């Protein structure tokens, strides 16, 4: 729907009314097939509905949460035994203090989580906290009313048994955790159990999570082993895990239908209440919404303007009241210092004045970048006679690969007009670096070249390399290649698939990563280090190729290749060598293939196929394609990066972050001239908008003498490099 954010407006009420009518026309026009409705939508004129809608959003929108906390002693198995503990141990009270603050319920004016705040009917105290804008109330079993005569402790079970997520603190250490069985907790609503045990020997917490089979996977993933020695780190991990667990439970068939039915009933009740009240007002306010769109007669225009001004006045008063109370999404209770963005970029290089073609990270503090024009950087390693369109740093073997573009090595237009027309390759250094690393640089055509990273070591003064230096570093069988892909870091062997027209060539580095790590001084090969394996013929020249490290059969020595062209994705296995249809875009849809990213679920290869603004999950072993788990971006992305449990889309001017589990939107950031550089370890990207990042940007020292000798760059803007930690 169209929206307008007015920060300052000094016009009259009549002008504001015209603006409201214009915006209403825009909103109505964004609803297709509105003319086919038998009855047009009715407008609710009572301004009090704003308060009810805010309350409905708070109750049904997963803004605030309530979690149960159970204390169990050794040998206690059933929920009746756990709920009968009148007091907790010292370790349990320490854990409760870690979760949140102890608050007095009587007179409590913030989120209460269903507890009584007037007559102490649900206990005198509880535990409350705010995390990233979400208010959380914990239903602690030892703080809820206890009855010696009631063996089942109905009052405690009424609250904890209706919580979707329960924390179970096991007294006695991790050795007692094996006795817990979720089936002993009799509840139809609890779907997630977080089992916590404290180890006094090293002041650590151990966490085990149980969930119903119908609950989708949710992050963050538990570390191995699931032991936390930092209390605050454990608290943050546990709260995020519980929030995601409750949201994931809402996607189960049982809860999804109940929530939809409840929300539908509440909205219909609101409609009935306010529409019955509207029958008592004047004839103007009983007209259809579509009848209000044309300019009303002058006799009734003033009444319409007055009604709209009153609607805005009450809405602003309601907003101010909720901010003062601390309940509004814009209040200091849920934002400001208490809330951080889920992704906060760190500035890596503040002002690089050249257009970027590609790049890759080198160790922890370096970037190798290919640009279109000559210029000054921290250190130039290739001159402008070499144009690279892709580059990768393979740090396990200490080599540099890059591909140049055919016919692109033009230096000057003429002797009098020396305008640089091709790219140069730079190394951008932060603080320190590591040697014996590998860089791979790609292009759209011609050949692939292999260099050792040791040739570009900062401690060794070497001349800038030019086109004649490429002669001995040319990789055979790569003439005319349009693209290539390599295996992911961390695999046993480095593999590379090269595309030349409709032919795919598979190569492999002759030494394993383990051998190179054991004998780094012996691995000094460049082009001779790649061994030819085999070739594959395909029907069309692809636009996307992805190398999948393990085949469907589970043999780690084989691999699969995903090929995308036109409107379909095919899979080629190393064993058979034949292409099989994996997924095809629906007929009649103009397809723009974006990427094919390999994922793993329970060690089974799975592909995330992205086309247009759609992401589709496809298992390699499935023959039937289902779109049940597809999700859609707001814009067509240029690049896709997976960083579990998130998936990030890069467009030309926005970065969109979603959960990979269900596709829910987490954050959208507007960034002009946004370009992904690499995502091998951390995520590096460039943008021209430093005002979007409020963190401290430390500018790296530049080589001033070299900067004075070079001419200024032709690009009128500057790129700011940022990166995210995985």
- 663-717 residue pLDDT tens: 888 888 888 889 998 888 788 888 886 554 444 444 444 443 444 444 333 333 4
> How far is residue 273 CA from its own chain's centroid?
41
Residue 469 bridge partners (DSSP): none
Is pLDDT at 482 greater than 60 in this prediction? yes
Q: Name the DSSP class of 24.
A: H
Q: How confident is the model at residue 138 (pLDDT cuts 50, 70, 90)?
A: very high
pLDDT at residue 342 in the model? 60
Domain with CATH 3.40.50.11210 in the chain: 63-249
Rounded to 10 degrees, the C-alpha dihedral 324/325/328/329 comes to: 90
Tens digits of residue pLDDT in 260-307: 787 788 888 887 877 776 555 444 444 444 444 445 555 566 667 776
Picking from 164, 123, 121, the residue whose alpha carbon sits closest to that of residue 140 is 123
| Average pLDDT taken over every residue of the chain | 74
Tens digits of residue pLDDT in 549-581: 764 444 456 788 999 988 899 999 877 778 888
Residue 178's alpha-carbon distances to 132, 226, 228, 706, in angstroms, are 33, 15, 19, 66
Distance CA 161, CA 143 (A): 15
Q: Which of 69-73, 297-301, 400-404 has the lowest mean pLDDT?
A: 297-301
Q: In what order do the strands lie in the sheet with 560-565?
A: 544-548, 560-565, 568-573, 579-584
Tens digits of residue pLDDT in 430-471: 322 222 333 444 344 578 888 888 887 766 656 788 888 888
Distance CA 615, CA 583 (A): 12
3-state secondary structure 598-621: EEEECCEEEEEEEECCEEEEEECC
Q: Choose the most confident range, by mean pLDDT, from 40-49, 240-249, 304-313, 366-375.
A: 240-249
Instruction: Tell me if 681 sits within 8 A of 726, measured CB to CB.
Output: yes
Q: What proportion of the chain, given as a percentage, has pLDDT over 90?
A: 19
Is pLDDT at 127 greater than 80 in this prediction? yes
pLDDT at residue 183 in the model? 85
Q: How confident is the model at residue 72 (pLDDT cuts 50, 70, 90)?
A: very high
Residue 501's alpha-carbon distances to 11, 305, 385, 505, in angstroms, are 63, 67, 25, 11
pLDDT at residue 58 in the model? 62
pLDDT at residue 497 in the model? 92
Q: What share of the chain is helix, strand, coil (3-state, %, to 5)?
A: 25, 30, 45
CATH number assigned to the domain with residue range 63-249, chosen from the 4 options 3.40.50.720, 1.10.260.40, 3.40.50.11210, 3.40.50.300:
3.40.50.11210
Is pLDDT at 419 greater than 70 in this prediction? no
Q: How confident is the model at residue 146 (pLDDT cuts 50, 70, 90)?
A: confident
Q: How confident is the model at residue 147 (pLDDT cuts 50, 70, 90)?
A: confident
pLDDT at residue 548 in the model? 87
pLDDT at residue 717 in the model? 42
pLDDT at residue 68 in the model? 93
Tens digits of residue pLDDT in 516-548: 878 877 778 888 889 999 999 988 889 999 998
Is pLDDT at 721 greater than 70 in this prediction? no
Is pLDDT at 157 greater than 50 in this prediction? yes
The CATH number of the domain covering residues in 346-724: 2.130.10.10
Q: What proportion of the chain, given as a percentage, has pLDDT over 70?
A: 70
Domain with CATH 2.130.10.10 in the chain: 346-724
Distance CA 653, CA 687 (A): 9
Q: How many CB atoms are closer than 10 A to CB 55? A: 12
pLDDT at residue 378 in the model? 60
**pTM, entire model:** 0.55
Q: Choose the most confident range, by mean pLDDT, from 98-107, 213-222, 335-344, 519-528.
A: 98-107
pLDDT at residue 57 in the model? 67
Q: Choose the most confident range, by mean pLDDT, from 292-306, 417-431, 615-629.
A: 615-629
Q: Which of residues 413 and 597 earns the better pLDDT score?
A: 597
């Amino acid at each position: 729907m169209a929206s307008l954010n007015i920060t300052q407006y000094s016009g009259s009420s009549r002008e504001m009314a015209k603006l409201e009518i214009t915006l209403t026309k825009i909103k109505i026009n964004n609803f297709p097939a509105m003319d086919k409705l038998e009855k047009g939508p009715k407008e609710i004129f009572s301004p009090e509905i704003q308060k009810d809608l805010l309350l409905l959003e708070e109750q049904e929108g997963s803004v605030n949460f309530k979690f149960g906390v159970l204390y169990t002693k050794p040998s206690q198995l059933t929920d009746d035994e756990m709920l009968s503990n009148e007091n907790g141990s010292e370790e349990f009270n320490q854990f409760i203090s870690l979760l949140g603050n102890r608050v007095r319920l009587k007179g409590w004016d913030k989120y209460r989580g269903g507890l009584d705040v007037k007559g102490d009917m649900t206990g005198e105290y509880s535990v409350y906290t705010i995390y990233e804008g979400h208010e959380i109330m914990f239903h602690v079993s030892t703080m809820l009313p206890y009855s010696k005569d009631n063996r089942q402790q109905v009052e405690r079970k009424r609250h904890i048994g209706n919580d979707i997520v329960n924390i179970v603190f096991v007294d006695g250490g991790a050795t007692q955790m094996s006795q817990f069985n979720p089936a002993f907790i009799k509840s139809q609503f609890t779907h997630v159990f977080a089992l916590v045990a404290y180890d006094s020997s090293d002041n650590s917490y151990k966490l085990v999570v149980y969930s119903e089979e119908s609950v989708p996977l949710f992050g963050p993933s538990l570390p191995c082993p699931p032991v936390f020695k930092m209390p605050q780190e454990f608290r943050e991990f546990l709260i995020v895990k519980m929030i995601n667990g409750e949201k994931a439970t809402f996607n189960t068939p049982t809860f999804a239908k109940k929530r939809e039915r409840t929300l539908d009933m509440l909205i219909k009740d609101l409609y009935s209440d306010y529409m019955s009240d509207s029958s008592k007002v004047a004839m103007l306010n009983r007209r259809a919404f579509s009848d209000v769109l044309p300019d009303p007669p002058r006799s009734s225009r003033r009444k319409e303007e007055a009604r709209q001004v009153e609607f805005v006045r009450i809405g602003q008063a309601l907003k101010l009241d909720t901010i003062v109370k601390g309940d509004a999404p814009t209040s200091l209770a849920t934002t400001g210092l208490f809330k951080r963005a889920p992704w906060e970029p760190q500035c890596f290089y503040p002002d690089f004045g050249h257009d970027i073609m590609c790049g890759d990270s080198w160790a922890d503090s370096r970037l190798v970048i290919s640009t279109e024009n000559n210029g000054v950087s921290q250190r130039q390693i290739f001159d402008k006679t070499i144009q690279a369109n892709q580059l990768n740093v393979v740090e396990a073997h200490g080599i540099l690969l890059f591909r140049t573009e055919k016919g692109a090595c033009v230096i000057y237009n003429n002797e009098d007009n020396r305008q640089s027309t091709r790219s140069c390759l730079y190394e951008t250094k932060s603080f320190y670096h590591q040697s014996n690393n590998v860089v791979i640089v790609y292009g759209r055509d011609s050949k692939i070249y292999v260099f050792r990273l040791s040739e570009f070591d900062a401690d060794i003064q070497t001349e800038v390399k030019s086109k004649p230096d490429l002669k001995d570093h040319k990789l055979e069988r790569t003439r005319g290649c349009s693209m290539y892909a390599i295996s992911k870091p961390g695999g046993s062997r480095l593999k590379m698939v090269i595309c030349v027209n409709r032919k795919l060539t598979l190569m492999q580095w002759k030494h394993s990563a383990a051998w190179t790590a054991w004998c780094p001084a012996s691995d000094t090969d460049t082009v001779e280090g790649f061994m030819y394996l085999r070739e594959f013929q395909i029907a069309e020249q692809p636009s996307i190729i992805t190398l999948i490290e393990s085949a469907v059969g589970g043999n780690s020595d084989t691999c699969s290749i995903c090929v995308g062209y036109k409107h379909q994705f095919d899979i080629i296995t190393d064993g058979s060598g034949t292409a099989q249809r994996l997924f095809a875009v629906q007929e009649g849809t103009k397809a723009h293939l974006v990427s094919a990213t390999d994922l793993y679920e329970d060690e089974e290869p799975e592909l995330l196929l992205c086309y247009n603004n759609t992401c589709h999950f496809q298992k390699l072993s499935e023959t039937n394609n289902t779109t049940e788990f597809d999700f859609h971006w707001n814009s067509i992305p240029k690049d896709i990066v997976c960083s579990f449990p998130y998936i990030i889309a890069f467009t030309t001017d926005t970065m969109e972050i979603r959960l990979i589990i269900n596709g829910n939107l987490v954050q959208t950031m507007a960034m002009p001239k946004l370009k992904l550089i690499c995502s091998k370890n951390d995520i590096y990207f460039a943008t021209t908008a430093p005002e979007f990042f409020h963190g401290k940007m430390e500018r790296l020292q530049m080589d001033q003498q070299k900067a004075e000798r070079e001419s200024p760059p032709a690009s009128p803007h500057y790129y700011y490099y940022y990166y995210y930690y995985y």
